[in-house]
Amino acid sequence: MESYDHLRDEELSGESAAVRDPGLDRHEWETAWEGLQEQLHDAPAEALPELGDLIAEMLEARGYAVDDPVADDGIEPDVLVSFRSAREITVMVDRGDDVDPSDLGEAIHAYREIYEQLIDRPDN
């Protein structure tokens, strides 16, 4: 699974999101996304949690309140609705629940759409 150690390292080094070059985030996200593609093809259920973590990180970096249900009323609420729907399926996979392959595909598709929306945006 994706770790957030790089965020902790930034805190220790004094580097913050405010002074960090936004292009670095984009490069890290593209690298992580590419790294997950083969795993998504070969073992989608195993890759789904890591994919969800990546998308959550991207959303938070772009200013979305992923854990705030009230945020659904904010900018682009459909993005958060899609994310939460995919994350619900991801949680089921993490718990070991029996998940229909079409639901798995739906979650991957939702994450992919969100990724493409976020990666195509100019850096904040």
Give mean pLDDT, residues 57-83.
79
pLDDT at res. 12: 46
pTM across the whole model: 0.76
Percentage of residues in the chain with pLDDT exceeding 70? 73
CB 89 within 8 A of CB 103: yes
User: What average pLDDT does the segment 72-98 reach?
Assistant: 87
The span from the CA of 123 to the CA of 25, in Å, is 9
Q: What are the backbone angles phi and psi of residue 17, rounded to the nearest 5°?
A: -60, -30
Token pair of 22 as six digits: 């936004």
CA distance 54 to 48: 10
Q: 3-class DSSP state for residue 39? A: helix
Provide the residue ranges of all domains of the chain, joining segments of one domain with +.
5-119
**Cα atoms in the Cβ-side hemisphere of radius 13 Å centred on 11:** 4
Residue 79 CA to residue 56 CA, distance in Å, equals 11
Distances (CA, A) of 109 to 26, 42, 66, 85: 20, 16, 18, 11
Task: Give per-residue pLDDT as tens, 1-44.
Answer: 444 444 444 444 444 444 445 566 888 999 999 999 999 999 99
**Residue length of the chain:** 124
Checking if the pLDDT of 71 tops 50, the result is yes
Lowest mean pLDDT: which of 12-16, 58-62, 98-102?
A: 12-16
